[in-house]
Structure 1
């Protein structure tokens, strides 16, 4: 039998025999990494250029996903005083609109920090841990992880298309 070579950046492949938590976290981290790789090396003007009719840009995806990370992990599982989970109706543009002075590098740094914070929060709880949610009643950490895989993967796909439209770059790595 030939040796199988696996790209070491593919966490989900390395976790293929791991427990449920390792698999869920590796898939989420894989898609987080894709989003970050899609903006690496781009000038802010390219990352913030609108290429589709919606407000979706590469930089806007970073800002949106930073807000989503904070909303689903710290605000639900370890809310500070006055912090509440923001519903889609309350979120208006979903964070896709860039503010004056925001840069793709700053947005990428903020997203990385939000992901670190989300990992720290999630690590404190079992997958079965349940918290109240303003629209859904209750959600478990397991459900939030699956939801975040779906949310992040969806936007990683958007980022892949936007990056290809920007400079022809394709692929997950």
Structure 2
């Protein structure tokens, strides 16, 4: 009996959009899986010199989702977006009332909203960008795969250093 295929494997002959969406969702799942079961104190513990913690990774990626899909793609006013939508240094620091479960739930909710926003655009559609002039949905997907995968790798190392857990 063969091992069931992962969602990103199921689109091995899919459209470009199917592949991009599946690989971004794969990385989003990796983030959630890497923090599952981590005690609250351990999720906030700094074990590297930077601000990077497991809880901080989730909070930062939530802000990055808001920035690229809600703020940039949907062209929403930052004042109308709850929470950090910049992905800046502040986005790495969980607040005193933040819990890991709450951060993960917010991340999943924001990712779902990102999917809903992206569904209204074609890959070639562009929107104005202060830094880039214009940016396409295709570029946003590629960037978000890169950003989320980079931080999934960080989460993998932090989790191993926290409790020895490796893999998914």
On whether the aligned pair clears a TM of 0.5, the verdict is yes
The answer for unaligned runs of 5 or more in structure 2 is: none
CA distance in 2, matches of 1:43, 1:157: 20
Residues 90-123 of structure 1 show CA distances to partners (whole Å, capped at 9, x for unaligned) of 7541511111111100000000001000000000
In angstroms, what is the RMSD of aligned CA positions?
1.8
Aligned to 1:168: 164
Check if 1:57 corresponds to 2:53. yes
CA distance in 2, matches of 1:52, 1:82: 31
Would you tell me which structure has more helix in proportion to its own residues?
Answer: 2
Check if 1:40 corresponds to 2:36. yes
Residues 71 and 77 in structure 2, CA contact (< 8 A), matched pair in contact too: no
Q: 1:147 to 1:94 in 2, by over 3 A?
A: farther
Q: 1:57 to 1:150 in 2, by over 3 A?
A: same
Aligned to 2:13: 17
For normalisation by structure 1, the TM-score amounts to 0.89
Residues 6 and 13 in structure 1, CA contact (< 8 A), matched pair in contact too: no
CA distance in 2, matches of 1:164, 1:157: 11
The answer for unaligned runs of 5 or more in structure 1 is: none
For normalisation by structure 2, the TM-score amounts to 0.91
